[in-house]
Amino acid sequence: MEEARGKQTTEGVAADVSLKDLSRRLDDFAKERDWEQHHSPRNLLLAMVGEVGELSELFMWKGEVQKGLPGWEEREKEHLGEELSDVLLYLIRLSDMCGVDLGDAALKKIVKNAVKYPAPSKSA
């Protein structure tokens, strides 16, 4: 069984995985298949946009969807997880090919947004 950060699910897949772990696995995956030649930033971006389209299709014609997806069948939720994963994996690979530390960039963006959009002060 594979282990990442000490947590496992019943399937033996890491329940708590870092962006760096995913990045390493994606890099190994691409190298094993000799796909690095195709992983230019442009190609990865276009592939990710295609996956975002597939993700969008899952919500098309459903109207407003409530948190937790009540009314969705389990197979729909599983498909959603697959499409979200596709988008995430392409985003990680794209950031790697552009030399951007995605985790660091995301943390800096959260701080920047907190300054730009401060929480309302609580009145006494």
> Is residue 1 in a domain?
no
What is the domain range of residue 83? 19-60+74-115
Q: Within a domain: residue 25?
A: yes
Cβ distance 14 to 8 under 8 Å? Answer: yes
Give per-residue pLDDT as tens, 17-75. Answer: 999 999 999 999 999 999 999 999 999 999 999 999 999 999 999 999 999 999 999 99
Q: Dihedral angle at the C-alpha atoms of 29, 2, 8, 34, nearest 10 degrees?
A: 0
Query: d(Cα 18, Cα 32) in Å, to the nearest integer?
Result: 21
Residue 69 lies in a domain: no
Residue 3 lies inside a defined structural domain of this protein: no
Domain containing residue 88: CATH number: 1.10.287.1080
Flag whether 91 is in a domain: yes
Whether 89 is covered by a domain: the verdict is yes
User: What pLDDT shows up at residue 122?
Assistant: 83
Q: How confident is the model at residue 124, as a pLDDT? A: 57
Give the total number of structural domains in the chain.
Answer: 1
Q: Does residue 9 carry a pLDDT above 70?
A: no
What does pTM read for this prediction?
Answer: 0.83
